[in-house]
Amino acid sequence: MKRISILLAFLLASAFAWAQDDVVTIGVSIPAATHGWTGGVNWWADKAMNDIQERHPNVRFVINTAGSATEQANDLQDMVAIDQIDALVILPFESDPLTEPVAQVKEAGVLVTVVDRGLIDPTIQDIYVAGNNPEMGRVSCEYIADRLGGEGNIVVLRGIPTVIDNERVEGCMEVLDATNIEVLASEYANWNRDDGFEVMQDFLARFDQIDAVWAQDDDIAVGVIAALEQANRQDEMFIVGGAGMKEMIARVMEGDDLIPVNVLYPPAMIATAMEVTALYYVSDVPVLGEYILGATLITEENAEQYYFPDAAF
């Protein structure tokens, strides 16, 4: 079960609800499937579109994927001018360069829902849906600290230099600072399998004793596993990844010693954002505000709840 904490700006949605014979057009702007997690975002967006349109025939979605911040900004212009959207659900490719384009969409009278990567100016958004990044770091490193009994050596593979990454690392370090665990090295692996492989190769060459790896993200963890298997050191340590990739959840379900747990940061949050945005138009409940999804620790005991074999991620 995902925990959602809600900070509501109490506006009565019925005052803005559309009549049953009106068509509501919701634009969804997301990054292209350049790696596993964004592939999952794309899969869940398509699923949510079909599910919501089946239940609410007067809700229409327009989904665009972008390979760059510039392309995404151009897509937003088309959504307003051509598709004439009533609402926008956007997972920004990058926060800074998308802030002004989204502000322009807002000025056109469009309801704005921001997902995951916040804008530089949060006042632009009407609804915000994201994972709990500080909690993701804390939960990951609490497991590592407990498993190691507060002693040992670990390495950290970070994501991309962003606020999200900093929040995760800060949450982790608050836990580790109260232990005798030594972080041997911490390097960016860009939430990427190939970079995860290369960074872990370097760590293995530099350090003889590594007790655990915090890979932060499952795409990185895939690269870490490959590096460990190539070096035949997969029996020396365990890996804590994150996001809920189905292959990782399957390994947790099977009791894999190398991947004993995972921490949820679901690409399905795009579906949550689309559902909440649609709800603004089809119900009389207040929905504006902030929705933060809990960073659940996935173990062998509860992994089946989070295993979606048909998902892209």
Same domain, 165 and 121: no
Mean pLDDT, residues 135-150 taken together: 97
Domain membership of residue 278 as a residue range = 4-132+266-293
- Whether 307 maps to a domain, the answer reads no
DSSP H helices, the chain, are 36-55, 69-81, 95-107, 133-148, 163-176, 193-206, 218-231, 246-253, 269-282
Neighbouring C-beta atoms of residue 68, cutoff 10 Å: 13
pLDDT tens figures, 241-267: 998 899 999 999 999 999 999 999 888
In a domain, 308, yes or no: no
The pLDDT of residue 19 is above 70: no
Question: Please, how many CA atoms are within 13 Å of residue 90, restricted to the half-sphere of its CB?
Answer: 29
Same-domain status, 162 and 111? no
Give 92's pLDDT tier (boundaries 50, 70, 90).
very high
- Does a structural domain hold residue 22? yes
Q: Is the pLDDT of residue 228 over 50?
A: yes
Q: Is the pLDDT of residue 162 over 80?
A: no
Please check whether residues 17 and 55 belong to one and the same domain: yes
Q: What is the pLDDT of residue 21?
A: 56
Q: What is the mean pLDDT of residues 184-209?
A: 96
Asked if residues 155 and 213 have their Cβ atoms less than 8 Å apart, the reply is yes
pLDDT, the chain, mean: 90
Q: Decide: helix, strand or coil at residue 198.
A: helix
Per-residue model confidence (pLDDT) at position 77:
95
Average pLDDT over residues 171-196: 95
Q: Are 74 and 185 in a shared domain?
A: no
Residue 312 lies in a domain: no
Question: Do both 124 and 181 map to the same domain?
Answer: no
Distance linking the first and last C-alpha atoms of the chain: 19
306, part of any domain: no
Q: What's the whole-model pTM score?
A: 0.77
> Is residue 100 located within the same domain as residue 12?
yes
Helix (H, G, I), strand (E, B) or coil at 1: coil
pLDDT score of 219 more than 80: yes
What is the number of structural domains in the chain? 2
Whether 112 maps to a domain, the answer reads yes
Q: What is the mean pLDDT of residues 220-248?
A: 95
CA atoms within 13 A on the CB side of 55: 10
* Mean pLDDT on 199-203: 98
Specify the pLDDT at position 14.
34
> Are both 14 and 75 inside the same structural domain?
yes
Residues 155 and 254 occupy one common structural domain: yes
Residue 279 counted as domain residue = yes
Q: What is the mean pLDDT of residues 47-69?
A: 95
3-state secondary structure of 189: coil
Phi/psi of residue 118, nearest 5 degrees? -65, 160
The CATH number of whichever domain residue 255 belongs to comes to: 3.40.50.2300
**What pLDDT score was predicted for residue 118?**
81
* Per-residue pLDDT at 5 exceeds 90: no
pLDDT for res 258: 97
Least confident of 19-33, 47-61, 127-141, 169-183: 19-33
Task: Give me the percent of the chain exceeding a pLDDT of 90.
Answer: 76
Lowest mean pLDDT among 3-17, 141-155, 168-182, 215-229: 3-17
pLDDT of residue 252: 96
